[in-house]
Amino acid sequence: MAIHPVEYRYGHAEMKAVWNEHTRLSKMLSVEAALAKAQVHLNYIPKGMDEKISNGVKKVTLDRVKEIEDEIHHDVMAVVLALAEQSQDAGKWVHFGATSNDILDTATALQIKDALLILRKETVKLRQVLIESALLHKNTVCAGRTHGQIGVPTTYGLRFAIWASEIDRHIERLDQLTPRATVGKMSGAVGTQAAFGKKGIEIQEKTMEYLGIEAADVSNQVIQRDRHAEFVMWMANTVTTLDKICIEIRSLARSEIAEVEESFGKKQVGSSTMPHKRNPIKSEQVCGLARIVRAMVEPELRNNTLWDERDLTNSSCERIVFPESCVLTDHCIRLTTTIIRNLRFYPENIRKNLNLLNGLNMGEAIMIELSKKGVGRQEAHEIVRQCAMSARESGIHMKDALLANETVSEYLAESEIIQLMDPDNYIGTAVEQVDSLAAKLQKRK
């Protein structure tokens, strides 16, 4: 019976397949086979032994490995013995000169490589959906907010563009960390490669060449965990961006604001007791799971602080950190893409909120124009501030408060004030910024 929600509630089959038991065993066996192939190539073990070991790999079963592990209580030796059983007379050359973490850490690198390919693919999809949304809504003028209060106008297009740009930086970071996080090793018990003799460096490089990854420059018994910590921190950083996006969507979906809404199925139920509810549950799920992924950073950082040439405190921890972080990050990326792609907009509420303050939010436009006409910037600020306070307290429109001010009337005609207070006329270069960013990002792969 399933216990962990990753087993039955969260995550995509593609990413789960990277981290399941069968894949893990397959990667470990691939490393053993590549090692034997490298050793034969370098005349370190007899010719033909690599072929027999490779054939043995095809016959090893997870059940047999578990059966042996139950007897000897050592996971890697269980794999070695199971492979040796199936490799005929080559069995005595299986794992020759290697230590457990030569196999484990290199297998992990292969899994991380596969996980990174999936994460990159899905993050690129999200970036594209955000670009498309930015272009679609580049002229959708809305209330900008700072400190939770309505400020000057912005556009939904610019919001999406800002998010697309941030996601693009995550893709750039992923590309930069990939070669650092996907290295393998054949360094032996404490890193000296003594069991391989003088051919240690060649064996390591050739093994990794066959596996399609780079070899670590130096290592002790384990790959240094700063590499893995960087990967986990990338996932934490990325889901934090998704958290931010979904917090904004949740805020804008509040009943009092109601500018956007997650898609809501015809038969979807929002509440077990309040039939009218249409809750932003997808966004809330992203925000909640982001907390779990961020919580993985501390354990993985600590996994780099091992005793001497290594201890075992990282092992049990990483059995949880790597698969859970990858599965949940991938889940959050895919879910955010779905949310953005199906987001519903309410133009009437967007316009209502834009005009909610009766023109108070257009004070900056008046201040700037007064300054251009000769009123000092600081004086113009104070004039507009006083008008805004008066309009707020008396409940009149900002335009009327401005017209009642002698200095404002001296410099600005009523028609100018009306034009300046039109939110559609005060979005600066928002449209141009969206177009520029979209053109830049759409060239990227």
Q: What separation, in Å, do the N-terminal and C-terminal C-alpha atoms of the chain show?
A: 41
**Cα dihedral across residues 330, 331, 333, 338: positive or negative:** positive
Residue type, 236: A
Rounded Cα distance between 388 and 400, Å, is 10
- 147 included as an active-site residue: yes
Residue 180 backbone dihedrals phi, psi, to 5 degrees? -80, -30
Contact 201, 217 (CB under 8 A): no
- 271 included as an active-site residue: yes
Contact 365, 152 (CB under 8 A): yes
Exactly one of 147, 255, 276, 316 is catalytic; which is it? 147
Exactly one of 4, 22, 263, 271 is catalytic; which is it? 271
Q: Beta partners for 142?
A: 154
Q: Would you state the structure tokens that stand for residue 46, as one six-digit string?
A: 């007899």
Contact 118, 328 (CB under 8 A): no
Rounded Cα distance between 377 and 414, Å, is 21
| Among 231, 442, 259, residue whose Cα is nearest residue 352 | 259
Residue 311 backbone dihedrals phi, psi, to 5 degrees? -135, -170
Q: Would you state the structure tokens that stand for residue 138, as one six-digit string?
A: 């580049």
**Cα dihedral across residues 190, 194, 196, 199: positive or negative:** positive
Pairing verdict, β 214-215 and 183-184: parallel
Residue type, 242: L
The count of other CB atoms within 10 Å of the CB of residue 416 is 14
**C-alpha distance from residue 343 to each of 18, 139, 337, 346, 347 (Å):** 31, 17, 10, 10, 13
Pairing verdict, β 344-345 and 260-261: antiparallel
Q: Beta partners for 155?
A: 141
Rounded Cα distance between 166 and 161, Å, is 9
DSSP assignment of 40-102, as one string? HHTTSS-TTHHHHHHHHHTT--HHHHHHHHHHH--HHHHHHHHHHHTSGGGGGGTTTT--HHH
Residues taking part in catalysis: 147, 271
